[in-house]
């Protein structure tokens, strides 16, 4: 039986790699999450954040087609929505305002991402 720790949690997925986005969506859905997105650009992510009144958490790829995802992350911080970054970058790439945000290093085990978002949503 699938782990259902994210049952009915609305999770935004922001990832520009189609295959990885599909894997994340599948894993989160198997854990019971309701998926918002996925968004592959900052513009799409910002639009979804602005149009979705209820977001319980988010998984954000730090770099979307050469642009850092920070505008979307800042909107989530402002709304108090917990999120995790997936990234190939080290901590020095991130502004200090994100020091408390969990980073799942790429390449990552998708299950680890699911566990991480579950922890931040339920903390």
Q: What is the pLDDT of residue 3?
A: 55
Domain ranges of the chain: 10-121
Q: How many CA atoms lie within 13 A of 60 on its CB side?
A: 32
What is the rounded distance in angstroms from the CA atom of residue 100 to the CA atom of residue 6? 21
What is the rounded distance in angstroms from the CA atom of residue 78 to the CA atom of residue 122? 18
Average pLDDT, the chain: 94
CATH no., domain 10-121: 3.40.50.2300
Q: What is the pLDDT of residue 54?
A: 96
Q: What is the pLDDT of residue 79?
A: 97
Q: What is the pLDDT of residue 4?
A: 62
pLDDT in tens, 35-86: 999 999 999 999 999 999 999 999 999 999 999 999 999 999 999 999 999 9
Residue 108 neighbours by CB under 8 Å, 6+ apart: 86
């Amino acid at each position: 039986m699938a782990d259902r720790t994210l049952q009915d949690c609305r999770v935004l997925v922001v990832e520009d790699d189609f295959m990885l986005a599909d894997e994340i969506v599948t894993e989160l859905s198997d854990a019971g999450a309701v998926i918002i997105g996925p968004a592959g650009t900052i513009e799409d992510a910002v639009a979804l954040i602005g149009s979705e009144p209820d977001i319980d958490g988010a998984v954000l790829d730090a770099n979307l087609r050469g642009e850092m995802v920070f505008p979307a992350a800042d909107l989530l911080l402002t709304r108090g929505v917990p999120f995790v970054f997936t990234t190939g970058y080290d901590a020095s790439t991130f502004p200090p305002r994100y020091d408390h945000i969990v980073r799942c290093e790429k390449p990552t085990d998708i299950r680890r991402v699911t566990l991480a978002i579950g922890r931040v949503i339920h903390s």
